[in-house]
Amino acid sequence: MYFKNFTIPNIQQPFYCGQHVLLAHSQAYRLGKSMMANSTIAWKANGGYKIPLTNSSEDAEAVQRAWDFTEGWWSDPIYLTGDYNAAVKAFVSTFLRPFTAGEKATILGSADIYAHDAYTYVNPHRSLAKQPPPASASVSAANPSNSD
């Protein structure tokens, strides 16, 4: 079945898709391991280094939130907990069903190697400390000092 619920706000749609990506990846990982037990399966995250604009606590919070909603959105469930980090979980809790205990167990550990492409860096603006960046947009796009 294709995603056909267009009543869901745009900012929420990537999270619905992302949840299914994590579930599909974890099933593909388990299937791959059952067929080739000695294989190595990686998960590659993509995102830039996040560097605070200043040493302020607000900028530090913005950097953490940027990590939480980019690399952490994907990597925390696979490598750390089987579930979203606290910031993502708080954001999606009003519209996305939580993972079941079985899904968490399947997602956790569903990659053997962590790869990360970080060709750029962003300076998350402190305004991001209070709201999640859109999942479909670059964190730097929300930075008012970004000249692009």
Residue 52 lies in a domain: yes
Separation of alpha carbons 140 and 144, rounded Å: 8
Residue 3 lies in a domain: no
What is the model's pTM?
0.78
Residue 5 lies in a domain: no
pLDDT given for residue 127 in this prediction: 63
**For the chain, what is the domain count?**
1
Residue 84 lies in a domain: yes
pLDDT tens for the chain, residues 1 to 148? 455 667 778 888 889 999 999 999 999 999 999 999 999 999 988 878 888 888 999 889 989 999 999 899 999 999 999 999 999 999 999 999 999 999 999 999 999 999 888 777 676 766 665 666 555 444 333 444 434 3
Domain region containing 21? 13-142
Residue 7 lies in a domain: no
State how far the alpha carbon of 48 is from the alpha carbons of 35, 68, 106, 117, in Å.
35, 13, 28, 7
Kindly report, residue by residue over 127-142, the tens digit of the pLDDT.
665 666 555 444 333 4
